[in-house]
């Protein structure tokens, strides 16, 4: 990580979080000169992408990681989700989705973000072809018609690239420098994330319970514990996070019930304010957006990273074969080919938040009817279990198990 910094590259990736690190790996086997710039050391406690959360990976993401050679490093930490149980607090509607009924080994896999970061960065270290600056922060960016000029670490280093990739998260500095606006909608909800141990160890069952304050997801972990993602109004989240362990367990048990047994131990609580952020375009002059820099979603359906990984997979494939990877026609191809998946997944996730967030009686009746119908509809279940392969458009090569070029 201390190799001399190249002064000219084809592709500079700003942000080595979950999506940026995956993109760098996807480009590792290509002939392009790639530089990855990341502000935080991957295993540091302040790394914002690889924190104490867990991520539900869809089968499509597993396939991408298998193709990139990352999966063997992750497999031992990944909990297969064999069944998902959905319920609506205070109403009768409920539904179950089984992997076996869909002919699948698993509906998805729950992976601790820290392990994901470790696996991605260990795999990067095995590819010396990728130049890495870490820890290093992009401090300035100038975008001209023929190149991007990046300044790193407050003017101490500068570099030119044919294209700069914004993988620097929802508050993207690259996006701002490219003059691309983002539409932000505050859900006025906070996700409280905590790991719990109960007297009924997890066994591959994930729960999604829709409550009056928002969805409450409970995901199984390999060590028998669960990750809880509890969506609450901001005031209530503050109150809940300030409770001692016993009072916190009692409040959680009250909202979630006894499906996972009695809560015996709770870990540290972390809070994430929830917003939908959607960049108005995915590309600008010599700049292109992936992951949260392009769109940050509500975690209700666990799709944000899965969608961002498909951004990275397709972008790698398009850039790999382009003589000038920052040419307008190349970037337009990326924007066009990502449009259907992006639009579909944003609409699906936002629609779920609204459908299950409403306490209007008519909406409550409609959603309980939908849940009951869903439970009886094999076609709808099949469609849902295939969500992680994308929402239409053509699937990237990595998702089909093929190398990027």
Ligand X SMILES: Cc1cc2nc3c(=O)[nH]c(=O)nc-3n(C[C@H](O)[C@H](O)[C@H](O)COP(=O)(O)OP(=O)(O)OC[C@H]3O[C@@H](n4cnc5c(N)ncnc54)[C@H](O)[C@@H]3O)c2cc1C
Residues that bind ligand X (CB under 6 A): 14-20, 37-40, 48-49, 53, 55-56, 137-138, 167-169, 173, 191, 193, 229, 272, 291-292, 299, 302-306, 308
Six-digit token pair at 193?
Answer: 């994330």
- Using the minimum distance from each CB to ligand X, give the nearer residue, 59 or 292: 292
- Using the minimum distance from each CB to ligand X, give the nearer residue, 345 or 364: 345
- Using the minimum distance from each CB to ligand X, give the nearer residue, 152 or 319: 152
Query: Measuring CA to CA, which residue among 392, 378, 403 is closest to residue 346?
Result: 392
Q: Shortest approach of ligand X to residue 371 CB, angstroms? A: 21
Q: If 0-12 CB within 10 Å is exposed, 13-18 middle and 19+ buried, where does residue 160 land? A: middle
Q: Report how far residue 33's alpha carbon sits from residue 31's, in angstroms, rounded to the nearest whole number.
A: 7
Q: Shortest approach of ligand X to residue 5 CB, angstroms? A: 14
- Using the minimum distance from each CB to ligand X, give the nearer residue, 344 or 366: 344
Q: Shortest approach of ligand X to residue 176 CB, angstroms? A: 10
Q: Shortest approach of ligand X to residue 163 CB, angstroms? A: 16
- Using the minimum distance from each CB to ligand X, give the nearer residue, 306 or 385: 306
Q: Shortest approach of ligand X to residue 379 CB, angstroms? A: 24
Q: Shortest approach of ligand X to residue 368 CB, angstroms? A: 25
- Using the minimum distance from each CB to ligand X, give the nearer residue, 272 or 348: 272
- Using the minimum distance from each CB to ligand X, give the nearer residue, 93 or 207: 207
- Using the minimum distance from each CB to ligand X, give the nearer residue, 41 or 100: 41
Q: Shortest approach of ligand X to residue 107 CB, angstroms? A: 12
The residues, any chain, with a CB within 8 Å of residue 201's CB and separated by 6 or more, are 224, 225
- Using the minimum distance from each CB to ligand X, give the nearer residue, 20 or 284: 20
Query: Measuring CA to CA, which residue among 102, 68, 131, 34 is closest to residue 309?
Result: 68
Q: Report how far residue 334's alpha carbon sits from residue 403's, in angstroms, rounded to the nearest whole number.
A: 18
- Using the minimum distance from each CB to ligand X, give the nearer residue, 229 or 320: 229
CA angle 353, 359, 363 (to 5 degrees): 75
- Using the minimum distance from each CB to ligand X, give the nearer residue, 94 or 271: 271
Q: Shortest approach of ligand X to residue 138 CB, angstroms? A: 4
Q: Shortest approach of ligand X to residue 81 CB, angstroms? A: 11
Angle (deg, nearest 10), helices 304-320 and 18-27 = 30
Q: Shortest approach of ligand X to residue 20 CB, angstroms? A: 5
Q: Shortest approach of ligand X to residue 2 CB, angstroms? A: 17
Q: In what order do the strands lie in the sheet with 54-57?
A: 54-57, 108-112, 79-81
The residues, any chain, with a CB within 8 Å of residue 222's CB and separated by 6 or more, are 76, 77, 78, 79
Q: Report how far residue 384's alpha carbon sits from residue 124's, in angstroms, rounded to the nearest whole number.
A: 33
């Amino acid at each position: 990580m201390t190799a001399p910094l190249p002064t000219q590259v084809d592709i500079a990736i700003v942000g080595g979080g979950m999506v940026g690190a995956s993109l760098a790996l996807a480009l590792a086997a290509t002939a392009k000169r790639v530089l990855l710039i990341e502000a935080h050391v991957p295993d540091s406690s302040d790394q914002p992408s690889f924190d104490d959360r867990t991520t539900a990976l869809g089968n499509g993401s597993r396939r991408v990681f298998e193709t990139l050679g990352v999966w063997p490093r992750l497999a031992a930490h990944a909990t297969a989700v064999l069944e998902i149980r959905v319920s609506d607090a205070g109403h009768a509607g409920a539904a179950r989705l089984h992997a076996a009924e869909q002919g699948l080994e698993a509906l998805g896999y729950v992976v601790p973000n820290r392990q994901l970061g470790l696996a991605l960065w260990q795999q990067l270290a095995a590819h010396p072809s990728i130049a890495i600056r870490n820890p290093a922060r992009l401090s300035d960016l100038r975008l001209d018609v023929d190149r991007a000029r990046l300044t790193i670490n407050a003017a101490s280093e500068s570099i030119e690239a044919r294209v700069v990739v914004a993988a620097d998260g929802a508050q993207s500095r690259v996006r701002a420098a490219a003059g691309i606006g983002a539409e932000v909608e505050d859900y006025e909800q906070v996700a409280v994330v905590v790991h719990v141990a109960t007297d009924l160890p997890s066994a591959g069952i994930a729960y999604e319970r829709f409550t009056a304050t928002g969805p409450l997801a409970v995901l199984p972990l390999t060590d028998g514990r669960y990750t809880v993602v509890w969506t609450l109004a901001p005031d209530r989240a503050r109150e809940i996070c300030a409770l001692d362990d016993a009072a916190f367990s009692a409040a959680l048990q009250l909202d979630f019930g006894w499906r996972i047994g009695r809560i015996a131990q709770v870990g540290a609580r972390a809070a994430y304010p929830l917003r939908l952020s959607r960049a108005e375009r995915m590309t600008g002059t010599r700049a292109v957006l992936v992951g949260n820099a392009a769109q940050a979603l509500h975690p209700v359906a666990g799709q944000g990273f899965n969608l961002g990984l498909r951004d990275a997979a397709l972008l790698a494939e398009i850039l790999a074969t382009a003589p000038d990877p920052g040419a307008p026609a190349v970037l337009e191809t990326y924007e066009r080919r990502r449009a259907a998946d992006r639009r579909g997944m944003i609409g699906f996730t936002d629609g779920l938040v609204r459908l299950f967030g409403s306490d209007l009686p008519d909406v409550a009746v409609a959603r309980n009817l939908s849940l009951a119908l869903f439970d009886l509809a094999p076609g709808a279940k099949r469609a849902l279990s295939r969500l992680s392969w994308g929402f239409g458009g053509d699937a990237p090569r990595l998702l089909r198990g093929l190398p990027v070029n």
